[in-house]
Structure formats: structure tokens, C-alpha cells
Amino acid sequence: MKALYRILMAGAAVALSFSCTNLDEHLYSNISSETHEMTEKELAATIAPVYSSLRNVCWGWFGSFDLNDMSSDVWGVPYRIGIGWGDLYIPFHKHEFHSELGFIEVSWDNNYAGVNACNKALANEAIASNKATAAQIRAFRVLYYYNLFSAFRNIPLDLSFNHEDGWVPEQSKPEDTFNWMVNELNEVVDDCPENAELGKMSKYAAHMILAKLYLNHNAWFKDDSDKSWYQKALDEIDQVIAGPFELASTYSANFKESIAGNKEIIFGLPFEEKYASGNYYANLWHHTAVRARWGFSGWATNGGVVFPQFLDIYEDGDKRFDATWTGGPQFAADGSPIMLSDGTQATYTREIRSMDNPGCYPFEGYALIKYEIVSGPKGTSYDDVAYFRLAEAYYIKAECLLRLNKDLETAADLVTKVRKRAFDDPAKAKITAEQLMGPSRYDYGHRENTAEQGDPDNWVITHEGGEDIELGGLLDEYAIEFVAEQHRRDCLIRFNIKGTNMNVYCGKSWFCKDAETDRHSDIFPIPKFALDGNIKLKQNPGYDGVPVE
């Protein structure tokens, strides 16, 4: 859902809206540290928006969990024939981005709301003088800026809450913003707490953000000649791996309604019934009839579809497939077939038709079941969310070693360690460095059936394959392990097509999205409302008539 106010629209610091928690109803922002020593309860209430804003960033409508997967090669929301919605999502699939797309507006809004919450908290002397608390808030602020930088790159960098009348922020150079994020984290990481608690910023979460900054540096600045950034990422991720974390015994344990106490979670977002809801994937993916499978009574739209090209990269015996997707005939909680009004059984088909020509009919596409669906009205609404997991730390270390071309056996062992819980056969779980550095199994290319139901199939199919993708095997492993966890866009931008200056995100076709001729869609356009409200902002290249650099 959209924030009520346009953050930075006119350059003023404005009030925030946090519709997914009631914690902000009891703010104590006007307490003066000179006359009142804040209790722990008051301190927690004052800084609550710093934490709660991230829920909106991730799981507000058009949140980052959608933004980073729906523009990728794993899943999307088509125009649903007979239902009539989904058209808002088509430009995101086809990379036809423009400055008035809801996804883009909300991403800007919600992340700057988080920045503003951090700036407001740090403007309180009682908070700023508390070294440990201030360190966590500053690290949170970097995380919000990380999201903005990844999405828009050319962004205002505002570090103050109070401004003079008429003030509007300058657009920071990407190099300056990146350097500030790195320096800020390095200043505060050792002052963040040791314990990893859901919703709170530990030193391990701060090291994780630093590792991801370094890992993505060369992709963001489109220059992979300096490999030292991967060594920096490796040094940071080793700090994380040395922490008190261990892999969960099963893949699905990371996506239960409660993940409190799960030692794989480096950083996670807590959701609580009545106070903080947001994960609507049960609502987005499932047909109303199929709710009977879980005794789920909440709203349902049958919106999402997973691309068969992605499903095809799963290996036989990989238990993550059945833990993530459901297809075929559907059965109620009591084991009886779920029957439709026309007398047929509800059945999700693997094949899907098209994004918008003509679109997809109901039940086309396997549905996501990765996050625990709870009976009653809840569905997935109160599922805690894993933001950083130890599995990702292992994959980051493996990627850095592969890119540095050193200790390749260790890289393969790290990925194998994660795969072991997904395969009953240890031999199938084992993966080699050669496989990780080899081709992707994804058969890239356009894949669309433009025929309407009842007419002969009319497939439009091209084959681009994945043989030309650097570290293609590792890219596949990322996709399977982290699907629907807001990782995929970053990965596709980071992995290049050999012998070209293109990455997979722009340079490959999938489903109804075609390969592009340049990389301007690596970043999104700055929202029109932000440009209209601040004459110092310039649109990103490739949008609104601005030539591609």
C-alpha cells in the first residue's frame, strides 16, 4: 500500500504512515532528553518506526518482494482472463518501465519513509547519545539507502531530519552514495549488538549489508575489471559465517509462520497477528476454490504464475520443488477433491499462455506454497520473513571464491552443504566447482502461446539457452534456493553474458519479455512525482526522453 505522504516530494521532512503496525500510535518523539530520562519502553516506542518501516518496504502492496521477482525470470502476474486484473504488472515483466508505475512510486515512498524515520530518531538527543541504539539506527538507514541505490542509483542522500523552509535535497553522485554507505557501516558495525534478534540490527546483519554492497559494486558501476571488491565481500561474509548461525534442518523451516529461534536467520522481520501483517502471498497466488486445501478463508486472486522455463531448471529429487510449488489436481484438507462449479476438479497447470496476449486463464500456472499457509483468515499474513539467511552467506562466499578463482573446492562445498537438505541422495546433493562455473540450465528465449482457449495452440518460441552465462550453474542455485525472497533482480544484474557488455537481466529473453539492446533498465526511472516536486532531480538515462549513456 502507498505511504500517505510523498517523501522528499517537496524536500520537506514529513510525517510517516505505518499501516502494518500499531507501534507508532504511542510515539514519544517530543520528549526532551534534557528534562526526561527515557525508559526502555519509551525508547523502544520512539524508534519503532525505524523497524516497522521495513515491513512496508518488503510487504506493502507493490513491495520489494514483488519488485525484485516480478521483473525477473522466475514469476510474474499476467492479465487474468475472466478475472480482468493483472494489467498493472505487465510493464514490469516486459521491462517497459516508466516513471508513473505504482511499483516504482511505492519503492521510493516506502524506503524514504524508512530513511526519514531514522533521521527523526537520530535527531533525538537521548537516542543519538546512546551509542548502541544509534549504531543500529544508522545501519538501518544504510539498508534503506541500499534498497534505493539498487533500484534508482541517482538518489538524494539526506541525513538530517530538520531543514530550513524551501529546502530540497540534492541528487547525490552514485560514487558518493556508495562510499557513504560503506563508511557509515564501517563506523557503526562494531557497536551493533552481538545477538541476532528478529527485526533488530545485529553486527552480523551489518556485515551482511557490507558484503552485499561489495559483491554488487562491479555490476552497479558496470566495470568488473577490479576484482578486489569480491575480496572485500569475502572478508565481510566470513565475519557473518563466524557468527552463531547454522542451517535449518529443512528448507521449509525458514518459511514457517514463526521463525523465532531459527538459527539460520541472520536478520528477519517479525509479523504478529493484529499488530503487524503483510505477507499476502497466499492471497496473491491461490484460486478461491483452492483455499479449502488449508481451510484458509481470506481473500484470494489466483494472480501469480511461475514460468515453466524456471521450473525446468529444478533437478529430479530436489525437495525444494514440492516445498515451493503446487501443481496438478488440488485436494481439500480432508483429502477430498476440490470440485468447481462446472463439475471439474481444481487443477493448476504447469504450462501458461502469455502475459497479455491473450493472458492466462484461471488455474494456468503452478502456485507458490513456500510460505506457510495457516487456516482461518490468516493465510500467510502473519508469517515472519527471513531477510538474510546463512544459506545466502554461504552462496556469497562461494560466488566470491569463484570470481576470484581461488579455493574452488571450498566454494563447491559451501553450495553442497545447502543442497544436502534438499536431496535424499547425498550423491545428487553434491555439486562441483565445474558445474557452478558452467552453463545455466535455464532455456532462455521467448515462450508464449497466443491462442485463446479452445483454439489450436500458437506458440512463439525462441531459444537463447544459458550456455553463455558466466557462473551459470551458481545462478541456477541462487534461483532455486531464494525464489520469492527478493533476490533475483540483483542476481540477474550481477551475472553477465560472456563476451558481451550485457547482463542476464537485460540481455536475455524469458516468457514474454524480450532481450534488450542496452542496460538502462538495470535501474528504474525516478518517479514522476519526485521529479515534479524537486527541480534538482534529473531523470535516469533511458527514461522520459533522456538518452542512454
Q: Is residue 368 part of a domain?
A: yes
Q: Is residue 321 part of a domain?
A: yes
Please identify, among 381, 401, 426, the residue that sits at the C-terminal boundary of a domain. 381
331 in any annotated domain: yes
Asked whether 502 and 521 are in contact (CB, 8 A), the reply is: no
Each residue's pLDDT tens digit, 233-274: 999 999 999 999 999 999 999 999 999 999 999 999 998 776
Q: Which residues pair with 265 in a beta bridge?
A: 389
Q: Provide the whole-model pTM.
A: 0.92
In a domain, 305, yes or no: yes
Residue 277 pLDDT more than 90? Answer: no
Last residue of a domain, one of 381, 411, 441: 381
70 pLDDT higher than 90: yes
Digit-coded pLDDT (tens) for 84-120: 666 789 999 999 999 999 889 999 999 999 999 999 9
The DSSP annotation for 284-334 comes to HH--GGGGGGTTB-S------EE-HHHHTTSPTT-THHHHHEE-EE-B-TT
End-to-end Cα spacing for the chain: 33
Asked if residue 7 is part of any domain, the answer here is yes
Which cell numbers hold the place of 212? 552485499
Strand 75-76 to strand 305-306: parallel, antiparallel, or no bridges (unpaired)? antiparallel
Instruction: Report percent pLDDT > 70 for the chain.
Output: 91
Give the per-residue pLDDT at 34: 37
Are 401 and 407 a contacting pair, CB within 8 Å? yes
Largest distance between two CA atoms of the chain: 78
What cell numbers appear for 123 in the block?
535527531
Lowest mean pLDDT among 115-129, 263-277, 419-433: 263-277
Domain end call among 326, 352, 381 = 381
Confidence of residue 37 (pLDDT cuts 50, 70, 90): low
- As a whole number of angstroms, the distance between CA 509 and CA 26 comes to 49
Assigned domain for 417 exists: no
The dihedral built from the CA positions of residue 265, 283, 78 and 308, taken in this order, carries a sign that is positive
Neighbours of 23 (CB within 10 A): 17
51-65, 66-80, 140-154, 204-218: which has the minimum mean pLDDT? 51-65
Lowest-pLDDT range, 122-126, 228-232, 248-252, 459-463? 122-126
Domain extent for 107: 1-172+522-549
Looking at the fold, whether 311 and 166 belong to one and the same domain comes out as no
Instruction: CATH number of the domain at 116, please.
Output: 1.25.40.390
Mean pLDDT of the chain: 90
- Strand 328-329 and strand 347-348: the pairing is antiparallel
Measured at the CA of 502, the angle between CA 496 and CA 504, to 5 degrees, comes to 55
In a domain, 516, yes or no: no
Among 70-84, 171-185, 510-524, the range scoring the smallest mean pLDDT is 70-84
**Distance (Å, rounded) from C-alpha 370 to C-alpha 82?**
27
In a domain, 329, yes or no: yes
Q: Number of folded domains in the chain?
A: 2
Instruction: Judge whether residue 22 has pLDDT over 80.
Output: no
User: What gap in Å lies between CA 479 and CA 477, rounded to an integer?
Assistant: 5
